[in-house]
Amino acid sequence: MTPEQYCQDKAASSGSSFYYSFMALAANQRRAIIALYAFCREVDDVVDNPGEIQIKQIKLQWWRTEIDQLFAGQAQHPVTRALTPVLEQFDLPEEYFLEIIDGMEMDLQQQRYENFKSLSLYCYRVAGVVGLMAAEIFGYEDRRTLKYARDLGMAFQLTNILRDVHEDAQLGRIYLPAEDLQRFSVSEKDIFAGQASPNFQQLMQFECDRAKQYYHSAFEYLPEQDRFNQRCGLIMAAIYRAVLDKMEKNHFPVLTGRVRLSNAHKLWLALATWLREWRRHHRCGPAH
């Protein structure tokens, strides 16, 4: 199996919404984003798969060393071998890869977040940085696009946190900031017990509105001239916003399971968004 096929299989097996946006890319960009995504899945799996914390820390340290090897031209793992030609084409700093690993390690070191400031650092490391790297792969002319990419990554991670309340609680994790729980009089015990209440609904609406603000901020930053290049991010945004909207419409049934979209719905959103952006690009013409 080639390194590229390994990454392809890793991405396809995850069932992630991200995969539906990759088809809109040129071949070299698609290989790059799939390799980047496979890296994220590898280090995320280190944390989420069963095992002793000390072993997981050793594995993450191995990945730090492997990233050093990657940038020294001596990659060993199939994912980093797939990333080797990517670094020749795109500006993906070593510090970004290490920042992602730092974010994953936060999951080993803490299972609660006192306030949104501390949570936002986690979100930046595991998602905002990925957004910045994706923007480099997709291409841009205006540096405001990097602010768009960072905020869009933040919006995606906040959506994930709301969607995964039940699954995270089963792992002993609560990402909702403690100060927000206190503000809406929701206890950790309520979350672990799956106890829905009007207070919990208000808490979730508050967090949902915060995620919406990040989506809005991201779109405000995105210059017209870069929209078509960044169409993959816009496809992902359409899918993630649909998940967020579905949670809100159904009064946040996240204490018992995960709100999902069907594959057909995700594919339809991907195609509809791509067509909308294609028409917009050709109607307006390249902006200068």
pTM, two decimals, is 0.93
Give the chain's domains with CATH numbers.
1-109 (1.10.600.10), 111-288 (1.10.600.10)
Query: Looking at residue 282, what is its pLDDT?
Result: 86
Q: What is the rounded distance in angstroms from the CA atom of residue 70 to the CA atom of residue 87?
A: 9
Other beta carbons less than 10 A from residue 72's beta carbon? 9
Q: With cut-offs at 50, 70 and 90, classify the pLDDT of residue 283.
A: confident
The pLDDT tens digits of the residues spanning 170-207 come to 999 999 999 999 999 999 999 999 999 999 999 999 99
Mean pLDDT computed over every residue of the chain: 93
The pLDDT tens digits of the residues spanning 113-152 come to 999 999 999 999 999 999 999 999 999 999 999 999 999 9
Query: Looking at residue 99, what is its pLDDT?
Result: 97
Backbone angles phi, psi at 16, to 5 degrees: -75, 155
The pLDDT tens digits of the residues spanning 25-65 come to 889 999 999 999 999 999 999 998 888 999 999 999 999 99
pLDDT at 18 over 80: no
pLDDT at 10 over 50: yes
Task: Look at phi and psi of residue 285 and say left if phi exceeds 0, alpha if psi is from -120 to 50, else beta.
Answer: left
Mean pLDDT in residue range 274-284? 87
Q: What is the rounded distance in angstroms from the CA atom of residue 135 to the CA atom of residue 93?
A: 13
Q: What is the rounded distance in angstroms from the CA atom of residue 287 to the CA atom of residue 226?
A: 8
Other beta carbons less than 10 A from residue 251's beta carbon? 12
Query: Looking at residue 166, what is its pLDDT?
Result: 96
Only one residue has tokens 């869009």, namely 152
The pLDDT tens digits of the residues spanning 211-226 come to 999 999 999 999 999 9
- The DSSP annotation for 61-121 comes to HHHHHHHHHHHTT---SHHHHHHHHHHHHS---HHHHHHHHHHHHHHHH-S--SSHHHHHH
Q: With cut-offs at 50, 70 and 90, classify the pLDDT of residue 17.
A: low
Distance of CA 246 to the CA centre of its chain: 18
Other beta carbons less than 10 A from residue 8's beta carbon? 20
Contact partners, residue 23, CB within 8 Å, separation at least 6? 30, 270
Give the burial class of 4: count Cβ atoms within 10 A of its Cβ; 0-12 exposed, 13-18 middle, 19 or more buried. Answer: middle
